[in-house]
Amino acid sequence: MKTFFLAGDAYSTRFFDLSLEEEELSLMPWIEAARYHVARFALQMRDDGLSGLGISSGDALLISDFSLEPIIGRPVLVRQEGQYLVRIASEVNPVECVFACTDHHPPLILPSENIRIVGVVSGIIREPAIHSSAQP
């Protein structure tokens, strides 16, 4: 088994705060996943905005570096002005980016210069067991 630090809660319906400093990540609780998973950290989904992809509230999202993964049509971690959001990357171009949910929320259109895609969901762990920050 592999361990991944659980960096915080994730939402697709609203922006949230998140600290991704390596020193702080090492103090976070952690989850276990199969060895084949590759990720920098995990987030715990707290809404059902991506339920059409089989992602439910309570599931852990494994987040990988987006530069290693294709992003169009996949859930991504987006940063805008210091806050974060997990949505599906529908269209990404130099002018604007369109991010969608799978429920009734309208697509979010953001100017490209105001956002940064910081990761892509590379795996989902259903209802993970969360362990304290002291690793075994």
pLDDT tens-digit readout, 24-73: 788 899 999 999 999 999 999 999 999 999 999 999 999 998 776 778 99
**Angle (CA) 95 98 104, round 5°:** 155
Kindly report the CATH number assigned to the domain that includes residue 31.
Answer: 2.10.109.10
Examine residue 135 and state whether it is found in any structural domain, yes or no: no
**Cα(127)–Cα(107) distance, rounded to whole angstroms?**
27
Task: Give the model's pLDDT for residue 66.
Answer: 76
Examine residue 76 and state whether it is found in any structural domain, yes or no: yes
The amino acid at residue 2 is K
Examine residue 133 and state whether it is found in any structural domain, yes or no: no
Examine residue 101 and state whether it is found in any structural domain, yes or no: yes
Over residues 70-114, the pLDDT tens digits come to 789 999 999 999 999 999 999 988 899 999 998 788 999 999 998
Examine residue 134 and state whether it is found in any structural domain, yes or no: no
Pairing relationship of beta strands 83-92 and 30-33 according to DSSP bridges: unpaired
Pairing relationship of beta strands 96-100 and 41-45 according to DSSP bridges: unpaired
Examine residue 131 and state whether it is found in any structural domain, yes or no: no
- Structural domain count of the chain: 1
Examine residue 97 and state whether it is found in any structural domain, yes or no: yes
- pTM of this structure: 0.92
CA distances from 20 to 3, 72, 110 (A): 17, 23, 22
Q: Considering only residues 23 and 72, tell me which one the structure prediction assigns the higher pLDDT.
A: 72
Confidence of residue 134 (pLDDT cuts 50, 70, 90): low
Residue-range definition of the domain harbouring residue 88: 2-125
Examine residue 37 and state whether it is found in any structural domain, yes or no: yes
